[in-house]
């Protein structure tokens, strides 16, 4: 759904023209922001990811040239379509003559609804198509390489004196392919490689390619974060742990399981883009060959590393020397098994996840969001009362999904989005303890567990305030708290409102006195009409119309009962 929502900025000083545009454009999928002057417009352009701008040429309070210059000076120019509007043919002709300065189209005032909708629809389609192409390119080529192509039309190969190469492959894969249904084989490969992608991205490494069952990634080539060797070792340990968990689960359920080998080496290499029609980012050099040999000489479910790589990571990892091993076309290479993170450098003394100090050293976020997410979701799934059919595990996931949607529409950065998602995951955790006073208990639970996952005092304070902002008697004080409240009540404006509200009342009946049908409807109308409000522009655009429709539906039900 998110890729069908478009942020549209209306820069219009005439209140009547603005009302006309709002009446025409308030449709599903249009997330509309408004500005009456340059200050408001530039603030929105800087803080939101705008795709289409409707720019009024008639009002002297708006300096159109300043706005167009600002857009032209930004990298995202290709993602912003400027449509100028005017009641004067002369001004529109002038805009057309100067279209190379930034405007792509024009609209004559007074506005013709169908023409406005048609043109907006065209540029929404073009914008969404461009975003999908950009996303696809980002999945194929590193971001720095894409920038080089956009500026220079090409990307030059680069030599690196010290980079790290990681290889994985599955044990006895040829036998697996012979005995397994092709559809299931591809599905399982996709499952594993998708998880590897997540881990590689989290540790700021670059996936190079997959060849059959082999997976290749590099560190120290495309990223700016420090200590690529350590980050690669951390990624390898997490991949190994993931595969071990999958294997133990399969054994317990008497299912077939896959085993893995991992090999890593550091040294000089060359990186660049090859191909004329189908681009591919790749790396070359002896370092690649040695890393492949390390993987081939690994034992099942182990991480086999070269001595050169070991020297760069030995301070933080427990390793086991294997001596020198003969490899094809290279002679003897010193190798070690990488077993785990040293306990003093890991969270919870488990040797799997880096602690806060190590995370900061290698340029990772201080907080272990993924570890925290896994912990609280497992706790909610296992311990929530079965009678909580509204405040359930699924509800928490739905709120997190809404957080991600609003965070993108409101243009939060990665850190802010992570903190909002954390608040979403803990906002109903108080129901693990008791049914009432949920928000305060949830905040206290996060205070208890947050430090264990590397959240510092500032993070804990921000997250707790977001959790408490969902209380009925507390108003959100900033954008992140507003997004939390809107995500928590996203369903109020959705078509499935009545189904979800039914679960809430059924749950309430299990813990409090049962209400009559009339009382339930009156309570909903009072809450929706008099107590609840959406705060962010995105929620007001996307959910307020649906919420108003729900109010009318409830009033009709009430009249039937009366």
Rg over alpha carbons for the chain, rounded to the nearest Å, is: 28
Distance CA 498, CA 491 (A): 9
Are 32 and 8 spatial neighbours (Cβ–Cβ below 8 Å)? yes
Are 151 and 39 spatial neighbours (Cβ–Cβ below 8 Å)? no
Domain boundaries, the chain: 2-140, 155-361, 369-561
Closest CA to 447 of 432, 431, 433, 467: 467
Which tens digits make up the pLDDT trace of 160-175?
999 999 999 999 998 8
2-140 and 155-361, same CATH topology = no
Distance CA 9, CA 547 (A): 23
C-alpha distance across the termini of the chain, in Å: 39
Which residue's structure tokens are 């030995």?
A: 314
> Please, which pLDDT band fits residue 277 given cuts at 50, 70 and 90?
low
Are 109 and 16 spatial neighbours (Cβ–Cβ below 8 Å)? no
- pLDDT of res. 391: 94
Class of domain 155-361: alpha beta
Closest CA to 283 of 291, 271, 274: 271
Distance CA 9, CA 27 (A): 14
Distance CA 316, CA 555 (A): 65
Which tens digits make up the pLDDT trace of 525-558?
999 999 999 999 999 999 999 999 999 999 999 9
Q: How crowded is residue 545: how many other Cβ atoms within 10 Å of its Cβ?
A: 14
Which CATH fold topology does 2-140 show?
Answer: Rossmann fold (3.40.50)
Which tens digits make up the pLDDT trace of 53-106?
999 988 888 888 888 888 877 644 457 889 999 988 777 666 655 555 567 888
Which tens digits make up the pLDDT trace of 392-435?
999 999 999 999 999 999 999 989 999 999 999 999 999 999 88
> Please, which pLDDT band fits residue 176 given cuts at 50, 70 and 90?
confident
Higher pLDDT, 5 or 147: 5
Q: Which helix (H) or strand (E) holds 272?
A: strand 260-274
Pick the CATH number of 369-561 from 1.10.3210.10, 3.40.190.10, 3.90.1150.10, 3.40.50.300: 1.10.3210.10
Higher pLDDT, 3 or 358: 358
DSSP letters spanning 140-187 = HS-HHHHHHHHHHSS---EEEEEEEEEEEEETTHHHHHHHS-HHHHHH
- pLDDT of res. 473: 85
Which residue's structure tokens are 């979701």?
A: 377
Question: At 64, phi and psi to the nearest 5?
Answer: -60, -35
- pLDDT of res. 102: 66
């Amino acid at each position: 759904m998110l890729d069908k929502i478009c942020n549209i900025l209306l820069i219009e000083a005439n209140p009547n023209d603005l009302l006309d545009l709002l009446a025409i454009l308030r449709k599903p999928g249009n997330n509309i922001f408004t500005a009456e002057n340059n200050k408001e417009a530039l603030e929105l352009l800087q803080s939101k990811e705008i795709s289409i701008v409707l720019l009024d040429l008639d009002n002297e309070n708006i300096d159109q040239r300043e706005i167009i210059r600002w857009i032209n000076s930004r990298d995202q120019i290709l993602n912003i379509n400027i449509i100028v509007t005017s009641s004067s043919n002369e001004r529109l002709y002038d805009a057309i003559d100067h279209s190379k300065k930034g405007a792509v189209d024009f609209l004559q005032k007074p506005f013709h609804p169908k023409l406005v909708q048609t043109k907006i629809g065209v540029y929404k389609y073009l914008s969404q198509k461009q975003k999908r192409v950009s996303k696809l390119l980002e999945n194929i080529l590193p971001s720095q390489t894409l920038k080089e192509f956009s500026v220079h039309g090409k990307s030059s190969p680069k030599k690196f004196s010290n980079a790290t190469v990681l290889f994985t492959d599955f044990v006895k894969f040829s036998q697996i392919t012979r005995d397994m249904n092709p559809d299931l084989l591809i599905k399982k490969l996709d499952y594993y490689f998708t998880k590897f992608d997540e881990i590689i991205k989290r540790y700021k490494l670059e996936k190079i390619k997959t060849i059959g069952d082999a997976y290749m990634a590099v560190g120290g080539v495309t990223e700016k974060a420090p200590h690529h060797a350590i980050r690669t070792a951390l990624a390898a340990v997490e991949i190994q742990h993931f595969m071990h968990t999958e294997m133990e689960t399969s054994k317990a359920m008497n299912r077939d399981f896959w085993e893995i080998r991992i090999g890593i080496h550091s040294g000089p290499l060359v990186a660049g883009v090859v191909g004329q029609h189908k681009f591919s980012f790749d790396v070359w050099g002896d370092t690649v060959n040695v890393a492949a040999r390390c993987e081939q000489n690994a034992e099942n479910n182990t991480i086999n590393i070269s001595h050169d790589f070991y020297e760069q990571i030995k301070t933080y990892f427990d390793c086991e020397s294997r001596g020198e091993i003969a490899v094809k076309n290279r002679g003897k290479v010193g190798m070690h098994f990488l077993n785990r993170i040293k306990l003093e450098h890991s969270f919870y003394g488990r040797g799997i996840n880096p602690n806060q100090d190590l995370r900061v050293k290698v340029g990772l976020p201080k907080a272990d969001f993924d570890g925290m997410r896994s912990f609280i979701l497992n706790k909610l799934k296992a311990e929530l009362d079965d009678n909580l059919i509204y405040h359930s595990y699924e509800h928490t996931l739905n709120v997190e999904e809404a957080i991600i949607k609003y965070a993108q529409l409101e243009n939060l950065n990665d850190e802010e989005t992570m903190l909002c998602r954390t608040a979403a995951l803990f906002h109903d955790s108080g129901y693990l303890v008791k049914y009432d006073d949920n928000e305060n208990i949830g905040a206290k639970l996060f205070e208890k567990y947050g430090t264990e996952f590397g959240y510092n005092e500032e993070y804990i304070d921000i997250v707790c305030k977001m959790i408490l902002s969902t209380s009925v008697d507390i108003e959100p004080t900033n954008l992140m708290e507003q997004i939390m409240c809107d995500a928590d009540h996203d369903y109020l404006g959705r078509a499935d409102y009545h189904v979800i509200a039914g679960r809430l009342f059924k749950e309430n009946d299990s813990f409090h006195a049962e209400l009559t049908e009339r009382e339930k409807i009156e309570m909903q109308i009072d809450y929706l009409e008099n107590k609840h409000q959406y705060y962010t522009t995105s929620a007001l655009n996307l959910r307020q119309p649906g919420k108003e429709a729900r109010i009318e539906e409830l009033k009709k039900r009430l009249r039937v009962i009366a």
